[in-house]
Structure 1
Amino acid sequence: MKKTAGLITLIILLVGLVFSQEIKNGQYGGLGGGDIGAQWLDVEELNAELKAAGLPELNDVALANGGGGYGIMGKFIIGGEGYSISTKEKSGVDTVQLNIGYGTFNLGYLILSKQAFRMYALGGIGGGGISLKISQNPESTNFDDNFSTFNENTFSTGFPIFKVGINADYILSFSDDEAAGGLALGLAAGYTYAPVGLVSDWKLSDSTIEGVPNFGPTGPYISFRIGGGGLAF
């Protein structure tokens, strides 16, 4: 995973250097929409603990969905976005579920701009929350019996998050006008870093939990966006 992260960061820097000279004029306007994609997770230490306890291990790639928007002022971009990430594994009567949500404030810069198409570097900073739920199927289907049987534990904490990536989008306009608006499609790829292990204050109900392994939404991501907006060139 660390090698993949380094490769993505290198690609981001190279693309920025190659295309940074191709911007002639800025754009003005804004776009927004919904995203769906994949987020790679750092769950190696967690999976080691789960395996030792005989619990199902989590996949290191999870579905991410959310959305956001941005405004362009010349060559500069300002915006925000939020995402929800969830992954669950079940084995026998045991279920392990990881839920993550975060939001970021973003700043960016156009590195390629041609009419309704643009490519831009984007960096964000924000925060979020993470919960790990470990549960077992109830032994009885009788309502009263389950009052005295606790078969679910949910550990939770908050965290800061940082991200950097390359985004590209296109407004579906096929004219040579000086403005375009309507449906837009986009792609994004990059890397998120969440230092959960450095700042975590894990809770189980109202109790503070120690010795939690380091895990969270640190890793590469890729997403597809569909939305809309308008720009003047």
Structure 2
Amino acid sequence: MRTSRPSPLLRLFLASLLFLGLGALTTAHAQDADDDAPSDAPVAEEQGAGFFAVGTQFTDLVPLNDRLRGAGYPTFASEMVSLGGGGYGVVANRLMLGGEGHGLLTADGSFQGRNVSVGGGYGLFNLGYLFRPASGLRVYPLLGLGGGGLQLDIENAGTADDFDDVLDNPNRSASVGQASFLVSLGGGLEYQFGTPGEGRTARLGLRAGYMVSALRSDWQLGDSALAGGPDASMQGPFLRLTIGGISDSDDE
């Protein structure tokens, strides 16, 4: 089986996706001690939350699609499916500190027997400020800083009958990637279903915002930078559904 090899820089950013998500989940597994306390009365200390997320991430693939179209390759929608997760802790009942990571997926294409795909991923450190306008409801603005990358994979869908076939045609696939520094500007809301300590609970939320892409690297093939690459980026709005805070603990 043939596998593509991302550039080292892109592998670093995609790996950060996993570490940020896992790290945030481990620091924020505890739930609210008392979500039903009125806002004008003393409340128990706010706890963090972990979550899984699914949604849509809009990207700027127009420059890349123009180059692909000019070479006869299929083009790709700028709206990508976003899958990921993360979490946060709460400091002084207001300040949110956490992280999240997401992978970006889109439908594959084909060209002259080759599978062609575009994808990406990113990880963010998040800073937010928590408001509680109603019992069980959290609302917050959110600032995220991190990195991520886009990747174009061109693979040969054919098969090799023996080892010599591989030697005769070694350039069966190519994978090029581009990394960038990212700033996420947005906000979210979450609602707690159930009362912690009194049976099962779950927290359903919605996050939306705009991703700014800056300080982009050249496209890379392996360890080599490629001159004249398209100015595609991960910049654009996003919208995702979050679910977390699932627990059946009797802890107070």
Give yes or no for TM over 0.5: yes
Q: Which runs of 5+ in 1 are unaligned?
A: 1-22
Q: 1:172 aligns with which of 186, 193, 206?
A: 193
Q: Which runs of 5+ in 2 are unaligned?
A: 1-38, 248-252
Aligned to 1:115: 135
1:128-207 equivalences under 5 Å are 128-138=148-158, 140-144=159-163, 145-149=165-169, 150-173=171-194, 182-195=201-214, 198-207=215-224
Instruction: Give 2:162's aligned amino acid.
Output: F
Instruction: Give 2:60's aligned amino acid.
Output: D
Compute the displacement of 1:115 (Å). 1.8
Contact 2:178–2:216 (CA<8 Å) still a contact in 1?
A: no
Compute the displacement of 1:112 (Å). 4.5
Compute the displacement of 1:181 (Å). 8.2
1:16-75 CA distance string (max 9 Å, x none): xxxxxxx86886111111111111110000000000000000111111111111122322
1:114-172 CA distance string (max 9 Å, x none): 2211111111001123321123332x541331332222111123221110112111111
Structure 1: 4+ residue segments shifted above 4 A = 23-27
TM-score norm. by structure 1 comes to 0.78
Contact 1:31–1:229 (CA<8 Å) still a contact in 2?
A: no
Q: 2:145 aligns with which of 113, 116, 125?
A: 125
Identity %: 33
TM-score norm. by structure 2 comes to 0.72
Does residue 83 (structure 1) correspond to residue 102 (structure 2)? The answer is yes
Aligned residue pair count: 203
> Which structure's residues are more often strand, by fraction?
1
Distance 2:162 2:186 in 1: 50
1:216-227 equivalences under 5 Å are 216-227=233-244
Residue 160 of structure 1 aligns to a residue whose secondary structure is strand
Residue 63 of structure 2 aligns to a residue whose secondary structure is helix
Deviating more after overlay: 201-210 vs 23-32: 23-32
Aligned to 1:63: 81
Contact 2:139–2:189 (CA<8 Å) still a contact in 1?
A: yes
Aligned to 1:49: 67
